[in-house]
A and B are shown apart, each in its own frame.
Chain A
Amino acid sequence: MSPAQWDLPPELCCRPMAFVALTGLDVTYNAVHRAIWDAFCVNRRADRVPISFKVLPGDHEYPKCRTKRTSYEWYIPKGILKTGWMNKHLNLVPALVVLFYELDWDDPQWKEKQSECATKVEIVRTSLQGRNTKVAVVLIQKKTPLPPGEDLVASERASSLCGACDLSGKSLFVLPHTDHLVGYIIRLENAFYEHAQTYYYNEIRRVKSHKEFLNKTTHQLLFVRHQFKMGFFSELKQDTQNALKYYRTAYSLVQELRAHETNIMEIKTMAGFINYKICRLCFQHNTPLDAIAQFRKHIDLCKKKIGSAELAFEHTAWMSKQFQSFGDLFDEAIKLGLTAIQTQNPGFYYQQAAYYAQERKQQAAQLCGHEPGVSYPAPDPLETTTGALDFYGQRPWRQGHQSIDPPDSEKEKQGILALQVKERDVLHSELIIALLSNAVAQFKKYKCPRMKSHLMVQMGEEYYHAKDYTKALKLLDYVMCDYRTERWWSLLTSILCTALKCSYLMGQVKDYITYSMELVGRASVLPEEQKSRIEKNLIKVLMNEVPEPEPDCDPASVKAAQSLWSDRVSLSGSNEFTIEVLDNVPFVQCKAKFVSPSFHIDEPVQLEVYVRADCPHPLRFSKLCVSLSNQEYNQYCLLEDASKGKDILSTQENMCLVPGKTRKYCFKFVAKTEDVGKKIEITAVGLMLGRETGRYVYLNWRGGWGDAASSHEALQASRSFKRRTRFPEQQVDWDTVSVQSSTMIISRVPRISVKLTHEPPALTNEMYCMTVTIKSEEDTVAKDIKLTAGLKPGQDANLTQMTQITLNSSEVCDDSHPALLPDIPIGDLQPGQKIVKHLYMRCVSTGSRIFLFHVAYSVDATVEDKDITCKCHKDETVTVETVVPFEVAMKFVSSKFEHLEHVYVDVPFLLMMDILSASPWPIELVSSDVQLVSSMTAIDTPESQVEGVTLQTGECASECILLKCPPVQNGTSTVASGQYIISWKRKSTLSETSVVKTIVILPHVMVENIPLYVHAELPSYGRVRESLPVRYHLENRTGLVQDVEISVEPSDAFMFSGLKQVRMRILPGAEQEMLYNFYPLMAGYQVLPQLNINLSRFPNISSQLLRRFLPSRTFVKPQGRNGDTSIEAA
């Protein structure tokens, strides 16, 4: 029995196509025939009709048709389906035989040829005796035929040929051998297809007609057979809908058959076949759910039909095959466009197939474990006369037997034995692995990573059973990491156990050690005694001895392994291994930390390493070393087996790991001065188990701590709010040890004081004085002191331009000065000595600034008996606010102190300046100066009126000067006035301050021409009843003669003489004088009689405007002694 015994026959799995035989073609020697044949069968595309063609010789013998039964009365069927039946109808019995014959209508030897053709047809007919197979004739002609009806000779000869060959007109075809061969062939084959369909239709009817002769008691098998045949014929006819119907009926009939031990194989085999057909058609009809439902039903019905207990493996093999072939069908449908989902994909079926294959293997192991003496029975009970079975699913030694009991119990026994012996030789593992790997491929596709891992574990285990340990380890190692990261310890432990066995049997030392370490550790769920056993083995391996074999291993393999191991022991090289802890969970845990996140250079760097073991027995290690980012320090962080040292006992105890106890190892070293400001990191911690002289393993914790499980444990521990139990002295709670894997080396704490003295806020533009006092508090000389002072870097970039600094008090800073003065050398300071430095800063803009004063120096120190020179530095920062010292307000006013929008040419006006102090400190105004531009002239020599004035906060100083504008070119224009320079300084008691010049730009002003200028000349005061002469001057400032109308309005306070109303002309550039004598009547400030002036040429120059140049009132003194008279007069 070959492993392929359970495979479905190819004729069942193929797609049935109508079978048409072609005869009379000589495809080897005749080129024309060859071309015809090629046109039929080469490059058949899917759109051509489904026919399978075969070239057969004209005298081919077709399978003989048995005589038709007229009655089924005494007939007892011997089985359900003959093994040859499907193949017969696919490949042997044609639906149509086509005879090709070369004959033109006008052939000269027509008569002879016609009779030869008829003979050939006759030969074919004879060999098809009893079959319903149709015969057709194709005449291969050289000439293109005329349109039907035109060629009279042709139609006449055609009918004569039909008569001679006993053919219907529909079965005679003409194939002109011309250019359009393929076109003709396609038309021909469509006609053949129709004939074939009729044939199969008739066959279905013929099979159906048997039904009435059957009875339900004896012919149950025939019911199934007939339904199956009808289904198969329907498929040949390409009527898949009906085929499905027939197969479904066949399926329910086959399940109704009475099953017993002798025929259960046959029933299952047939049920499997029919089920396969149904599922296949369902997928083809794109109804996958129907297929799945059918398959489920099939499995549920057949699951329990185990049959003979001695051949139970046959049932599981069959079940496995059912699942596998359904998986194949499903997969094929997916390839043709069906979409599967995560929970319904072919993978599940392959998995189940693998599961049954595994079960088969177990059953085979139980049932086929014969004594070595039992050999294959002779004569071979599985041998049949024909070499094959007559019916599907029957036993070779009792073919056709249908009753309940086997005919010959001895033969039966021999047969079963033969099957069992064959089963023993089956390579089960191969089958299982193939199925599993199919399933893996599917689950990978449908996003089931865990299912995939599980199947890979099974594959690995199967490889282990098949003794292919290399492959087993490869697979297990691959998935182990998934289970480890998902923290499924139970599953990981199981996988590790298998892996350990593999590595033991292969003598792989490193793998053996790695797996042992993990199995002994905390991630393993093994019972304590197992852990203990494994640890003892591990210790043996580390001592370069052969470990005890793992339990439940194949004895022969163990023997081989033992010799492998002893070879390893004798071999000297390759006895050192490094295990990266990050990839697994070994039984030793480690945490390394610096005691502090930073160390000063003048104190030793301290480092602690905590080590804990979870194994059942204490274990000694021989070396512990810490690697740091600066490797020069590594030599100080090393703990070695000090067998040569003095204190052997204590170190021995020190280097022994007691289960569950945390050990702490401290290291200390002095950092190098170059490392100041640098980070020192723990790159790794290494722990050596075993001996350097023999075999040893090096556990390497990268970064100084952590394995595959520890980060989660640390998280859980941090979350836990369980009260920490107090540990006795010198014992540490593992969870509370926090990791500090890097530290900073920082400079020594400076012992120096830096004091700043100043008077904030700073005033804009002043040279702000800052006094720095540096005092040494060191015990030794502070050497090489350097001061860096100025604007602290990292502030607004604009501030750098707006700030200047200098050491020189006498100079005034400008843009060339820097904002920061680096490394001002100061020299050495003896202990207790101090030094004072003045710095001058100029802040051009307001706002706050941070100033930095950085004092660096070096000093000698001794740490741990080592002399080092430490660099120290102290930073002092101060924030200084800058404010404006004063505000300057400027305005133009008229000589009457009225606000001016614009000034008039040659008319005098005043410029007023107010200086308002905003500084919190008193300001001394040293001088002030107005610098006018050419368009402005001062009327009297200006000299500063505020010189030497000291302003307190909020005080204001004012000055004013009288100005005049010379004529301008055109009517009105805006002119600049010049600038105002104020020289000032802060009044400070602390330090001498320098004078600052502040320049203020004077405002621009509008200058206008005026056509007529009026001014009055009058005494500064009048006296009651004394004449007050007033002279008005009218100046024409235009190039035109002007008409001026003047009137004087009467006033209560004055009588007056002069022209009350007058009209006159003033020549260009001329001046008119008008004299009035006012006679005051009342004392005090009195309003003068109003002078109205109308310019008829310039109506927009109103009388009010001109009146602004004239005094509106004057002071009148009383009459003196004769004061009474004035009262009388009033």
Chain B
Amino acid sequence: MIGLMSRDLRVRVIMAVCIAVIAKENYPLYIRSVPTQGELKFHYTVHTSLDVVEEKISGVGKALADQRELYLGLLYPTEDYKVYGYVTNSKVKFVIVVDSSNTSLRDNEIRSMFRKLHNSFTDVMCNPFYNPGDQIQSKAFDSIVAAMMVQAC
């Protein structure tokens, strides 16, 4: 019973305010944010977080042993948001921005969000009509992302 309850709670609490997929060359393939707050601000947040991603990736190159770890963890905290990063083996980056007030958030939950995102992204890549490097336009991917985002009430 208790386990079920806590799971319910988690589903309600862990939600992102912005989700982005960034190409290997660091241009956006997909960016979606909650419509209530300034979209541009999130674009800047995601863009600036790439500094840390780049630094982490270049650091990984040195320690080959860690290369399997795709999750980059918390990139940097701002006053209002927490930015998490993830990088695939083909150097495509995922960035999730979460509200800072969301203190109950655990690392594991962020990881599972990234995993879901990665799976869905893999599906997009498998689509023979998708040209790698183009903007992602996929209903399936949209719905996965929408499910992870805070619903604008």
Q: Mark B43-55, 1 if CB is under 8 A from A, else 0.
A: 1100110111001
CB contact between B131 and one of A355, A450, A719 (< 8 Å): that residue: A719
Residue among B27, B44, B75 facing the most chain A CB atoms (10 A cut-off): B44
Q: List 29 A-B contacts (CB under 8 A).
A: A342-B51, A342-B55, A343-B75, A343-B76, A348-B76, A348-B78, A352-B79, A355-B79, A448-B52, A450-B48, A450-B50, A451-B48, A486-B47, A487-B25, A487-B26, A488-B47, A490-B28, A490-B39, A490-B40, A494-B40, A712-B25, A716-B131, A716-B133, A716-B134, A720-B131, A721-B128, A721-B131, A722-B129, A722-B131
CB-defined interface of A1084-1128 with B at 8 Å, one 1/0 digit per residue? 000000000000000000000000000000000000000000000
Q: Does A491 contact B (CB under 8 A)?
A: yes
Q: How far is the CB of A712 from chain B (nearest CB, A)?
A: 8
Taking a contact as CB atoms under 8 Å apart, the answer to whether A488 and B27 are in contact is yes
Chain A residues within an 8 Å CB radius of B35: none
Q: Which interface residue of A342, A352, A457 has the most chain B CB atoms within 10 A?
A: A342
- Asked if A451 and B51 make an inter-chain contact with CB atoms under 8 angstroms apart, the answer reads yes
Which residues in A have some Cβ–Cβ distance to B below 8 Å? 299, 342-343, 348, 352, 355, 447-451, 454, 457, 486-488, 490-491, 494, 712, 715-716, 719-722
Indicate if the CB atoms of A719 and B133 lie closer than 8 Å.
Answer: yes
Chain A, interface SS category:
helix
Question: B131 contacts which chain A residues (CB < 8 A)?
Answer: 716, 719-722
A78 vs B148: C-alpha distance in the bound complex, in angstroms? 53
Q: Given A486-B27, A719-B132, list of 16 further CB < 8 A pairs?
A: A343-B76, A352-B79, A447-B51, A448-B48, A449-B51, A487-B26, A487-B27, A487-B28, A490-B40, A491-B43, A715-B133, A719-B131, A719-B133, A720-B131, A721-B131, A722-B129
* Also in contact, A454 and B44, with CB within 8 A (given A716-B133, A719-B133, A722-B131): yes
Choice from A447, A457, A721 contacting B55 with Cβ under 8 Å:
A447
A450 x B51 contact (CB < 8 A): yes
Q: Which B residues are in CB contact (< 8 Å) with A454?
A: 44, 47-48
- B side interface size, CB within 8 A: 25
Please indicate the chain B residues that have their CB under 8 angstroms from the CB of A343 in the complex: 52, 75-76
In the complex, the answer to whether B133 meets A491 with C-beta atoms within 8 Å is no
Interface flags, B64-81, vs A, CB<8A=1, else 0 = 000000000001101100
Contacting pair B133 A448 (CB below 8 A) = no
A487 to B22: give the CA distance in the assembly, Å. 11
CB distance from B137 to the nearest CB of A (A): 13
Q: Which 10 A-B pairs have the closest CB atoms?
A: A487-B27, A448-B51, A720-B131, A451-B48, A343-B76, A450-B48, A450-B51, A454-B48, A454-B44, A490-B43
Interface residues of B in 98-136 (CB under 8 A from A): 128-129, 131-134
Q: How far is the CB of A460 from chain B (nearest CB, A)?
A: 13
Distance in Å: Cβ of B138 to nearest Cβ of chain A: 15
With a cutoff of 8 Å between Cβ atoms, the chain B residues found around residue A488 in the complex are: 27-28, 43, 47
How distant is the Cα of A256 from the Cα of B27 in the complex, in angstroms? 49
Contacts of B78 in A (CB 8 A): 348, 352
Which of B26, B40, B134 contacts A486 (CB under 8 A)?
B26
CB distance from B101 to the nearest CB of A (A): 11
Interchain CA distance A766-B48 in the complex, whole Å: 81
| A655 CB to nearest B CB, Å | 33
A714 nearest CB across to chain B (Å): 12
B27 to chain A, nearest CB (A): 3
Residues of B within 8 A of A450 (CB): 47-48, 50-51
Closest to B26 in A: A486
Q: How far is the CA of A760 from the CA of B136 in the complex (A)?
A: 67
Query: Please, which residue of chain B has its CB at the minimum distance from the CB of A494?
Result: B40
- Taking the closest CB of chain B, its distance from the CB of A716, in whole angstroms, is 5
Give the interface of B toward A (CB within 8 A): 25-28, 31, 39-40, 43-44, 47-48, 50-52, 55, 75-76, 78-79, 128-129, 131-134
Q: Name the residue of chain B whose CB is nearest to the CB of A723.
A: B129
B53 to chain A, nearest CB (A): 10
Residues of A within 8 A of B79 (CB): 299, 352, 355
Across the interface, which residues of B come within 8 angstroms of A494, CB to CB? 40
Closest A residue to B80 by CB, please name it.
A355
Complex CA distance for A487 and B50, rounded to whole angstroms = 13
Kindly name the residue among B51, B52, B132 whose own CB sees the greatest number of chain A CB atoms within 10 A: B51
Residue of B nearest to A482 (CB): B47
Question: Which residues in B have their C-beta under 8 angstroms from that of A715?
Answer: 133
What distance in Å separates the Cβ of B1 from its nearest Cβ neighbour in chain A? 34
CB neighbours of A299 from chain B (8 A) = 79
Residues of chain B contacted by A719 (CB below 8 angstroms): 131-133
CB-CB under 8 A from A457, the residues of chain B are 44
- Closest residue of A by beta carbon distance from B74: A343
Bound Cα distance A1129, B26 (Å): 121
CA A460 – CA B78 in complex, angstroms? 22
Residues of A within 8 A of B40 (CB): 490-491, 494
- Cα A610 to Cα B113 in complex, Å, equals 47
The residue of chain B having its C-beta at the shortest distance from the C-beta of A717 within the complex is B131
* Cα distance A457–B48 in the bound complex, in angstroms: 12
A299 to B78, CA, bound (A): 13
Chain A residues with Cβ under 8 A from B48's Cβ? Answer: 448, 450-451, 454
Query: In the complex, A490 Cα to B29 Cα: how many Å?
Result: 12
Task: Give the complex CA separation of A970 and B28 in angstroms.
Answer: 99
Residues of chain A lying within 8 A (CB to CB) of residue B47 = 450, 454, 486, 488, 491
Query: Which A residues are in CB contact (< 8 Å) with B39?
Result: 490
Bound form: Cα–Cα A448–B67 in Å: 23
B55 (CB) vs chain A CBs: closest residue = A342
A447–B76 Cα gap in the complex (Å)?
14
Give every chain B residue within 8 A of A490 (Cβ-Cβ).
28, 31, 39-40, 43
Nearest-CB residue, chain B, relative to A299:
B79
Closest chain-B Cβ to A686's Cβ sits at a distance in Å of 30
Bound Cα distance from A299 to B75, whole angstroms: 21
In angstroms, Cα B52 to Cα A712, docked, is: 25
A342 touches B132 (CB 8 A): no
Provide the bound-state CA to CA distance between A733 and B80, in Å: 47
A1001 to B139, CA, bound (A): 92
Q: How far is the CA of A720 from the CA of B132 in the complex (A)?
A: 8
When distances are taken between beta carbons in the complex, the residues of chain A under 8 Å from B44 are 454, 457, 491
Distance between A306 CB and nearest chain B CB, rounded to angstroms:
15
A835 to B66, CA, bound (A): 78
List the B residue with the shortest CB-CB distance to A487: B27
Give bound CA distance, A447 to B40, whole Å. 23
- Which of chain A's residues have a CB closer than 8 A to the CB of B134? 716, 720
A635 to B64, CA, bound (A): 60
In the bound assembly, the distance between CA atoms of A491 and B25 in angstroms comes to: 16
**Bound complex: CA A454 to CA B44 (Å):** 7
Q: Nearest B residue to A490 by beta-carbon distance? A: B43
Q: How far is the CA of A450 from the CA of B79 in the complex (A)?
A: 18
Q: Look across to chain B and name the residue whose beta carbon is closest to the beta carbon of A296.
A: B77
Q: A722 vs B132: C-alpha distance in the bound complex, in angstroms?
A: 12
A720 to B75, CA, bound (A): 33
B72: min CB distance to chain A, Å: 11
**A493 and chain B: residue at smallest CB distance:** B40
Nearest-neighbour CB distance to chain A for B34, whole angstroms, equals 16
- A300 to chain B minimum Cβ distance, whole angstroms, is 10
A445 CB, nearest partner CB in chain B, Å: 13
Q: Please report the C-alpha to C-alpha distance between residue A488 and residue B42 in the assembled complex, in whole angstroms.
A: 12
Bound-state CA distance A418–B12 (Å) is: 47
Residues of B within 8 A of A721 (CB): 128, 131
Q: When chains A and B are docked, how far (Å) is the Cα of A207 from the Cα of B28?
A: 62
Instruction: Tell me the minimal C-beta distance from A645 to chain B in angstroms.
Output: 44
- On chain A, the residues within 8 Å of B28 by CB distance are 487-488, 490
State in angstroms the CA–CA spacing of A715 and B76 once bound together.
Answer: 33
A350 to chain B, nearest CB (A): 13
Q: Which residues of A contact B55 (CB under 8 A)?
A: 342, 447
What's the nearest-Cβ distance from chain A to residue B52, in Å?
Answer: 6
Chain A hits for B27, CB < 8 A: 486-488
Closest to B31 in A: A490
Nearest B-chain residue to A355, judged by Cβ = B79
Q: How far apart sit A343 and B26, CA to CA, in the bound complex (Å)?
A: 19
Quick one: closest A residue to B45, CB to CB? A454
Residues of A within 8 A of B50 (CB): 450
